[in-house]
Amino acid sequence: MACFAATLGVIILAGFLNLSAANQDTCDLYAVVGLQSLLLPFTYDGLANSHVLRWTHNSTIIFYREKGRVSVGKSEDIFIAGSLLLKNLQFSSAGTYRANVLNPNGTLAKTWTQRICMMDKVSKPQLTYMCDPKSSAVNLYCHVASPQGLVFSWILDEKTLTGETRQTLSISLAKLKGETSFTCSVANKVSKEKSDTVRPTCKGPPPPTLFCFTSTTVVAVLAGGVSLILLLLIIIIVLCCCHRRIKTQTRPRELRMLSVNKRESDSISPEYETTHPNEYTENRPAHLSIDSEVKQPSPVPKPRTIPPHTANI
């Protein structure tokens, strides 16, 4: 039981320590190192010489006044309502400041506590850019010393770009119209600086490719189309030559057939025509008209001549 209670006490103590450390990391006021003066905003309207006013910095008394008499600090550093004026601020000026007002009877009338953090003033940034033809974009970089803890912002043609808080910025070349101007600014809790204006001179993106294809693809397609057309022309020429050759070989054969038919028709004797009229009619060419048959007289058979018999001697 005693071991459990000890463990619980250690856990609670660690929680208080973590809470105290978190409170110490929280700053109520921010001030620039080298600042001439800073007024701590404490007021007590009923403050009189009869009250006791005490200011402490990290538990060290830096001002004490009792019954109108100042024993620590300078009276000109205190305003009528009890505010304290800090001068020539340095990093050592950071810390916890506390003001206590006591009544003449020693009771606490008012207390005030705030933590002050000191920061350097940001230096002026330098803006540079680099054109990236591969991605068709311009990359901008905001150079500044000690960028940790700084907030970056970008201005395009005098308009702040929302959502751009990084140290670098990438803009598509398609968005660059004419003399587009860029400016970057850096800021911390106490100061803000802006760079000089820069106008990138990058070449615009190349014209869009045909049907969203690359130039290599378009050239390959065109070359394939030309090759296909040439192949078709060659095939047509070959077919025409073959057809002409076949026609040339067929024509002499037809002429020979016509010649044979003509010779056969001429070889028919008149006697055969007279003896076999039906066959002659059937074998006549079909192109002869009936009128020609009527007009042409039928051939008259010639008398046979009997050769004279010679006497045998």
Q: Is residue 298 part of a domain?
A: no
Q: Are residues 31 and 50 in the same domain?
A: yes
Q: Are residues 54 and 111 in the same domain?
A: yes
Which pLDDT value is given to residue 213? 60
- What's the total number of domains in the chain? 3
Q: Are residues 40 and 99 in the same domain?
A: yes
Tokens standing for 281? 């009619």
197 pLDDT tier (thresholds 50, 70, 90): very high
Q: Is residue 267 part of a domain?
A: no
Q: What is the pTM of this model?
A: 0.52
Q: Is residue 274 part of a domain?
A: no
Q: Is residue 101 part of a domain?
A: yes
Which pLDDT value is given to residue 90? 92
Q: Are residues 107 and 38 in the same domain?
A: yes
Which pLDDT value is given to residue 303? 61
Last residue within a domain, chosen from 66, 92, 119 = 119
Q: Are residues 31 and 115 in the same domain?
A: yes
Which pLDDT value is given to residue 286? 47
Last residue within a domain, chosen from 103, 119, 135 = 119
Q: Pairing state of beta strands 29-32 and 108-119?
A: parallel
Q: Are residues 31 and 85 in the same domain?
A: yes
Which pLDDT value is given to residue 297? 56
Which pLDDT value is given to residue 217? 74
Q: What percent of the chain has pLDDT over 70?
A: 68
Q: Are residues 60 and 133 in the same domain?
A: no
Higher pLDDT, 306 or 41: 41
Compute φ and ψ for 142, nearest 5 degrees: -100, 105
Question: How far, in Å, CA of 53 to CA of 62, rounded?
Answer: 11
Q: Is residue 21 part of a domain?
A: no
Which pLDDT value is given to residue 211? 52
Q: Are residues 215 and 173 in the same domain?
A: no
Last residue within a domain, chosen from 60, 94, 119 = 119
Question: How far, in Å, CA of 168 to CA of 127, rounded?
Answer: 10
CATH label of the domain that carries residue 38 = 2.60.40.10
Q: Are residues 115 and 132 in the same domain?
A: no
Query: Of 134-138, 240-244, 280-284, where does mean pLDDT reach its minimum?
Result: 280-284
Q: Are residues 44 and 109 in the same domain?
A: yes
Evaluate whether 50 touches 67 at the Cβ level (below 8 Å). Answer: yes
Q: What is the DSSP string of 194-249?
A: EPPPB---PPPPPPPPGGG--HHHHHHHHHHHHHHHHHHHHHHHHHHHHHHHHHHH
Evaluate whether 124 touches 193 at the Cβ level (below 8 Å). Answer: yes
Q: List the domain range (segments joined by +) for residue 50.
A: 26-119
Q: Is residue 285 part of a domain?
A: no
Q: Is residue 132 part of a domain?
A: yes
Q: Are residues 100 and 67 in the same domain?
A: yes
Q: Is residue 60 part of a domain?
A: yes
Q: Are residues 131 and 113 in the same domain?
A: no
